[in-house]
Amino acid sequence: MYEYIQGVLAELTATTAVVETGGVGYLLQISMQTYEALAGRSEVRLYVHQHLREDAVELYGFAAKAEREVFRLLTSVAGVGPSTARMVLSTYGVEELTRAIGAGDVDALKRVKGIGLKTAQRIVVDLSEKVGGVQADAGGIAQGRGSSARQEALSALMTLGFAKGPTEKALDELLRADATMGVEALVKQALKRM
């Protein structure tokens, strides 16, 4: 079992990432949330879920532990496999998904390709109490040396599901007011503005 894989991002597509470490390239299936968090990075850390099938071993990579935790919760529901769970996480960010499940929003879940009424209802029934314990985190992407607090904060906020444009604008405004702000302060203040 792997906890995470850290190394050079050798290849990135909307559904896969190849991370090279120790001379080995690991192919990981990823969601759109993770894809957006990895775009433009060279050094990355992906939290891993290993899925064993009769004919294959698949690795799923996540930019944040919270996304992996929700993925594992989703795959614990009857009728939801790893591909469907990845599709759900590509459609909704962790925070938005946990809110929808907690609120019993079956219609939101039905909008995901591959999820019908019964599966959506099962997800709500099985996970509504469990998703409250999921903490969205900003971890996951190893920054290269010399990365600024702005870049780290931007990466963290994008991992949480915020769009790049408005996030950059909020961070720039905060840094104009106080150029010495650290990553944690930037993230907290940006969240208040968004």
pLDDT at 165: 81
Distances (CA, A) of 18 to 6, 12, 30, 148: 11, 6, 10, 25
pLDDT at 116: 94
Residue numbers in the chain where pLDDT is lower than 70: 133, 135-148
Q: What is the pTM of this model?
A: 0.68
Domain annotation for the chain: domains and CATH numbers: 4-62 (2.40.50.140), 65-133 (1.10.150.20), 149-193 (1.10.8.10)
First to last CA, the chain: 37
pLDDT at 146: 25
Nearest by Cα to 142 from 37, 32, 69, 30? 37
Contact 128, 120 (CB under 8 A): no
What is the DSSP code string of 104-119? T-HHHHHTSTT--HHH
pLDDT at 135: 55
pLDDT at 78: 94
pLDDT at 133: 66
pLDDT at 123: 96
What's the chain's average pLDDT? 87
Torsion angle defined by CA atoms of residues 6, 131, 119 and 75, in that order, rounded to the nearest 10 degrees: 30
pLDDT at 185: 83
Q: What is the tens place of the pLDDT at every residue in 126-174?
A: 998 888 767 554 344 333 322 367 877 887 788 777 888 888 888 888 8
